[in-house]
Structure 1
Amino acid sequence: MSFVFYGGAALAEIAGCFAFWAWWRQGASILWLAPGMAALALFAFLLTQVDAAHAGRAYAAYGGVYILASLMWLWLVERAMPDRFDLAGTALCLVGAAVILWAPRPA
């Protein structure tokens, strides 16, 4: 279930940040900020739903998922193909995120 929350959080964060990017960097209407802020609030809520004992670990593991989601955004929304270094770096980050989130720890 954690991956569902992480995936939703990543989509919400990227969409929220992109709304600010579009307004500030691309001259979009200031009205883009309202859904952007709502998306960022949804991101924060979804991240709290991850089953982790400590917020810091949940956030650290989220980093790998965010990187994957960012490259998917790059490819699907911005129409720029990630290169082999993007993919290799993402794989390394996802392995690291999995270790952080699912490593056995004493209770």
Structure 2
Amino acid sequence: MVYKLTKDATTEQLEAAGLGANFANHDGAMFYNNAAGVPWTAAYIAAKGDPIADLYEDIAAEEKARATYQWLIDLTDDVDIQDSLKFLREREIVHSLRFKEAVEILKADREQKKIY
């Protein structure tokens, strides 16, 4: 989507949009930052080692992504971009539901008496 929105932009347009520094460092390549310009890092990945705790972390991430896609939908009037974002938002909802199902499966298994 970012490529679609910037592929024909001039350097002057990129600079006016606040993307001059990104263009100077990366040309037209994608460089993963959050909305505040903070670069992505693997430190954002949270894992405890407990499957249920990790799944709750995944659920939270999916819900945050869903909210972000909704905010992006609200920011644009481009119907094609909105459609793409709506697809991605729905995908996050499905992921969240599947993770919630997995949590319930793990909880049920944990509560069963183990006989060895």
Give the TM bin, normalised by the shorter chain: 0.3 to 0.5
TM-score by length of 2: 0.34
TM-score by length of 1: 0.36
Q: Highest CA radius of gyration, 1 or 2?
A: 2
